[in-house]
Amino acid sequence: MGNNLDQHGYLVDIVDIEASLDGLVERYRDQMLNNLAEFSGLNPSIEHFARIFCEKMYEGIKAKTLEVVRVQIWENEIAWASYEMRV
């Protein structure tokens, strides 16, 4: 989320979003969260996963126009968690 667009009329470039998302999906696909360094000392809950994913997603996006980044992860059709960070 943001209130200003860049010089091309974008809030964020979809190519940056896709690249960040693809990298994260590859990182976490078929992994046990307990075995990953970012979950060291944490319960591998969907809430922690949403926060970690959101923070890492933002790291991969180069847009200076973003003010808020929000990630929502679904565990199944009724259980989900989201995390929102102001940047």
What pLDDT does 59 receive? 93
What is the spatial distance between Cα 31 and Cα 25, in angstroms, rounded to a whole number? 10
Task: Tell me, yes or no, whether 61 lies in a domain.
Answer: yes
Residue with tokens 């974008």: 10
Give pLDDT tens digits for 36-61.
999 999 999 999 999 999 999 999 99
Task: Tell me, yes or no, whether 7 lies in a domain.
Answer: no
Give pLDDT tens digits for 10-37.
899 899 999 999 999 999 999 999 999 9
Domain residue limits at 48: 14-86
pTM: 0.89
Decide if pLDDT at 71 tops 90: yes
Task: Tell me, yes or no, whether 48 lies in a domain.
Answer: yes
What pLDDT does 38 receive? 95
CATH code for the domain of 45? 3.30.479.10
Q: What are the backbone angles phi and psi of residue 28, rounded to the nearest 5°?
A: -100, -15
What's the full length of the chain, in residues? 87
Q: How many domains is the chain built from?
A: 1
Contact 13, 62 (CB under 8 A): yes
